[in-house]
Amino acid sequence: MIDLRSDTKTRPSDLMRRAMAEAEVGDDVAREDPTVIALEERAAELLGKPAALLVSSGSQGNLVSVLAQTSPGQKVILEEHAHLFRWERAALARVAGLMTHPLPGRYGLFSVEALEAALWPADLHSPATGLVALENTHNAAGGVCLSVEQTAAVCEVAHRHGVPVHIDGARIFNAAVALGVEARELAAPADSVTFCLSKGLGAPVGSLVCGEDDFIERAREFRKLLGGAMRQAGVIAAAGLVALEHELPRLHEDHEKARRLAETLFGLPGVSLDLASVQTNMVFFEVHREDLTAPQLCRHLGDYGVLAVAQNESRIRFVTHRDQSYADIEHVCAALCQILG
């Protein structure tokens, strides 16, 4: 089956499996796992931060990052469709004791004017702002990228008000590749950043939190509080090291595959999509036909050996990744033309 449901569906490569089997390990809680240490050092180097911390997931990485920079009763400002707000089980409220202040955005980014207005001073009635959060690439906006300049503008406003900025950078390397910059440039203005190993990079599990040394120490404490401390985690870290060495150089291929799908869909009757939003490895589109709904299209694609999922009656997301070949994508394009054309 050709799986377009998510880049979380990737399976570890043979090279990753060998590295995991042969990994030198130790007790990571005691900071004795050499493979974890090597991964954290490499992650910090790539993101241009002094230190990094291995966590089990992107959601956990976001949560410990928020906990390490806020106090209960404060608010977090973010875009209204941010993953932190929509898809992480209200952890900011339930675990961190924070209020969320979502702002409307375009292509996943709110305006600096809206941010200025939301950064009201704390008083007897109003909560203080503890954090501003960005997402790069922005999932719900179609995998679009935030540029270095956009990120810097948000950070300038937040920092002027004494508020730190966190980047949910689950796919920040996709953004770096699409924009032709280094990931460290995208992360430089922010106080903290996370990225996932288990999406486009193809590792089976794991994410990294990156930031200043004292921030990482606080994040480590909250990782322990959440039950996220690991022992011989080098078997996980080994796959991550392979991903950073061998998968980063090929991310542009996933973007090319997504663009091919988007351009095929764009010309088909009853299909609408925003080509400007197809910047990385995601394609969001809508089906507006009397004879076919989005769930029905997904079922028809299944007959062609293609796995896809509808988000509602009209909207579908395709995600490209390392486990799909260019020939697979051509097969999907042919199937779409036969079903929709």
Is residue 241 within 8 Å of 308, Cβ to Cβ? no
Q: Where in the chain is the domain with CATH 3.90.1150.10?
A: 251-340
Is residue 121 within 8 Å of 115, Cβ to Cβ? no
Q: pLDDT tens for residues 13-47?
A: 999 999 999 999 999 999 999 999 999 999 999 99
Residue 288 has pLDDT above 90, yes or no: yes
- Side-chain-side CA neighbours of residue 265 (13 Å): 26
Closest to 87 (Cα-Cα) out of 146, 135, 16, 24: 135
* Domain covering 10-248, topology: Aspartate Aminotransferase; domain 2 (3.40.640)
Distance CA 269, CA 276 (A): 19
Q: How far does the chain reach from its first CA to its final CA, in angstroms?
A: 22
Q: Where in the chain is the domain with CATH 3.40.640.10?
A: 10-248
The mean per-residue pLDDT over the stretch 235-248 comes to 98
The mean per-residue pLDDT over the stretch 85-92 comes to 97
Residue 113: partners with Cβ closer than 8 Å, 6 or more residues away: none
b/e map 172-200, b = 16+ CB within 10 Å: bbbbbbbbeeebbbbbbbbbbbbbbbbbb
At residue 62 the predicted structure's pLDDT band, cuts being 50, 70 and 90, is very high
The mean per-residue pLDDT over the stretch 330-337 comes to 98
What class is the 251-340 domain?
alpha beta
Q: Helix (H, G, I), strand (E, B), or coil: what is residue 119?
A: coil
Residue 263 has pLDDT above 90, yes or no: yes
Is residue 148 within 8 Å of 154, Cβ to Cβ? no
Q: What is the pLDDT of residue 65?
A: 98
**Percent of the chain residues topping a pLDDT of 70:** 100
Residue 341 has pLDDT above 90, yes or no: no
Mean residue pLDDT across the chain: 98
Q: pLDDT tens for residues 113-130?
A: 999 999 998 999 999 999
The mean per-residue pLDDT over the stretch 215-240 comes to 98
Q: What is the pLDDT of residue 327?
A: 98
